[in-house]
Amino acid sequence: MNKKIILSGAQPTSNKLTLGNYIGAMKNWIKFQEGHDGIFFVADLHSLTVKQDPKTFRDQVYSALATYLAVGIDPQKSLVFVQSQVPEHSELAWILNCFSSMGELSRMTQFKEKSQKVGKNIPAGLFTYPVLMAADVLIYDTDLVPVGIDQKQHIELTRDIAVRMNQYFGIDLFKIPQPFIPEIGAKIMSLQDPISKMSKSDPVENATIFLSDSDTQITKKIKKCVTDSGDQITYSDSSPGIMNLINIYACLTGESTNSIVERYRGKQYGHLKVDTADVVVRFISPIRSEIDKIMQDRGYLDKIMAEGAIRASARAEVVLNKVYDTVGLPSRLRR
Ligand code: AMP
Ligand code: TRP
């Protein structure tokens, strides 16, 4: 079995995953799970870098897992698990922390943005989080990491840490992973501010489409989305709201952006909004029902989680044991 190893994850930070998560990342996970060795996990430890309500957090983790399954991640084909249930990730993260520098971590754009939002008492975990992400990737000898553009810098850091340790120890300890970033849809924008990313935690009403939104909510959000005051449908940076709608449309239908622009030539913005809303409703509606159905069956989700964790640990410990031996720690105990 010499298939390429594809790994990715998403944070269960809010109640549900977004259309941006799907288009930027998960759509490619599903594509890659055919013919590759896919590893997809719910990055719950990452979510703890900002405060979570313990009353709802566990539900969010289950809901993220249900969403993975509902969009088409198949546990028969791919390895699916929850990060906190595979302690090898945190073990490796500690060692990688000792080979990462404060300087490189303080250059991470996401840290700068998120720490600004937190303001005072910035958790150290927010600062070192990209190192845990590096551990997630390196512990499985990953070849390719399908993510949205916002994660590119973290994958570059992962590569830097891996290369550094390989050179320091003079062996091929870690495989050097590559990011996979889609040409279109790597950054789906907020519907209310089309120059910022569509985000789960955006407090602005109508900015984000969730995979759990009702048909009415989706239609309302898209109809109200912010565009410029022009009236010609063009695909250009000067019309970011329209460009965002065209990207969403293209990614969900497979039609090229050029052909969409051609079809809407001379038509008003309203036409594109109505049709995009229709495309998104048709896409999300069955996913929403599937998430609801899966969430009714906690036993099934528990089983997927437990089986995934056992298989993931067995794979993760191969690299982790090698790391223990390489850095000179006593051999990892088998329990
Ligand atoms: P997160 O929600 O930050 O855990 O992101 C999970 C995955 O979705 C990552 O690969 C992100 O790069 C991707 N992603 C998140 N938001 C967007 C967005 N608005 N557009 C495209 N990709 C996104
Ligand atoms: N940090 C990623 C995000 O916020 C989620 C994530 C955690 C991830 N570990 C990963 C993505 C490893 C790819 C590979 O979107």
Is the C-beta atom of 151 inside 6 A of ligand 2? yes
3-state SS, residue 122: coil
Strand (E) or helix (H) holding 117? helix 109-118
- pTM higher than the cut 0.85: yes
Half-sphere exposure of 329 (CA within 13 A, CB side): 13
Residues forming beta bridges with residue 146, ordered by sequence position = 180
What Rg do the C-alpha atoms of the chain give, in angstroms? 21
| pLDDT tens-digit map of 210-228 | 999 999 999 999 999 999 8
> 10: Cβ below 6 Å to ligand 2?
yes
pLDDT band at 1, cuts 50/70/90? low
- 8 Å CB contact between 198 and 188: yes
Element (H, E) at 58: helix 54-71
Q: Say whether pLDDT at 14 is over 80.
A: no
Q: Which residues pair with 178 in a beta bridge?
A: 144
Say which residue the tokens 């028969």 belong to.
Answer: 76
**Minimum CA distance residue for ligand 1 atom 22:** 24
- Whether 267 sits among the annotated catalytic residues: the reply is no
pLDDT at 118: 87
Tell me the backbone φ, ψ of residue 3, rounded to 5 degrees: -75, 150
CA distance 272 to 107: 39
CA-nearest of 228, 220, 267, 229 to 244 is: 228
231 pLDDT above the threshold of 90: no
Sheet containing strand 5-10, strands side by side:
79-82, 37-42, 5-10, 144-146, 178-180
Query: Which residues, other chains included, contact 228 with Cβ-Cβ below 8 Å and sequence gap of 6+?
Result: 238, 239, 240, 241, 242
pLDDT tens for 272-330 read: 999 999 999 999 999 999 999 999 999 999 999 999 999 999 999 999 999 999 999 99
Specify which residues 189 forms β-bridges with: 197
Q: Is the pLDDT score of 148 beyond 70?
A: yes
- CATH topology (fold) of 5-181+298-327: Rossmann fold (3.40.50)
**What gap in Å lies between CA 189 and CA 208, rounded to an integer?**
9
Ligand 2 pocket, residue 147 CB under 6 Å: yes
203, pLDDT greater than 70: yes
Q: Enter the tokens of residue 198.
A: 């569509």
**Sign of the dihedral defined by the CA atoms of residues 292, 10, 176, 323, in that order:** negative
Task: Name the closest-CA residue to atom 11, ligand 1.
Answer: 148
Enumerate residues lining ligand 1, CB below 6 A: 10-11, 20-21, 23-25, 147-148, 150-151, 186-188, 197-198, 200
In the predicted model, is pLDDT for residue 237 greater than 80? yes
- Section 112-140 average pLDDT: 95
Catalytic residue flag (residue 200): yes
SS3 197: strand
CA dihedral of residues 245, 250, 256, 258 (deg, nearest 10): -10
Q: What is the pLDDT of residues 64-91, one digit of tens each?
A: 999 999 999 999 999 999 999 999 999 9
The domain locations on the chain are 5-181+298-327, 205-293
How many whole angstroms from 9 Cα to the centroid of ligand 2?
A: 5
**Measured on CA atoms in the order 64, 69, 73, 76, is the torsion positive or negative?**
positive
Q: Are strands 178-180 and 5-10 parallel, antiparallel or unpaired?
A: unpaired
Pocket test of ligand 1: the residue of 17, 19, 21 to mutate, having most ligand atoms within 8 Å of its CB, is: 21
Ligand 1 closest atom vs CA 10? 4
Q: Which helix (H) or strand (E) holds 217?
A: helix 215-223
Asked whether residue 333 carries a pLDDT value surpassing 90, the answer given is no
- pLDDT, mean of residues 154-179: 98
- Identified catalytic residue from 114, 187, 221, 273: 114
What is the CATH architecture assignment of 205-293?
Orthogonal Bundle (1.10)
Look at residue 232 in the predicted model and tell me its pLDDT: 87
Counting ligands in written order, the one closest to the CA of 22 is 1
Choosing from 27, 187, 200, 221, which is the catalytic residue? 200
Q: Look at ligand 2, atom 3, and give the residue with the nearest C-alpha.
A: 10
171: β partners:
none
Mapped onto helix, strand or coil, the DSSP state of residue 5 is: strand
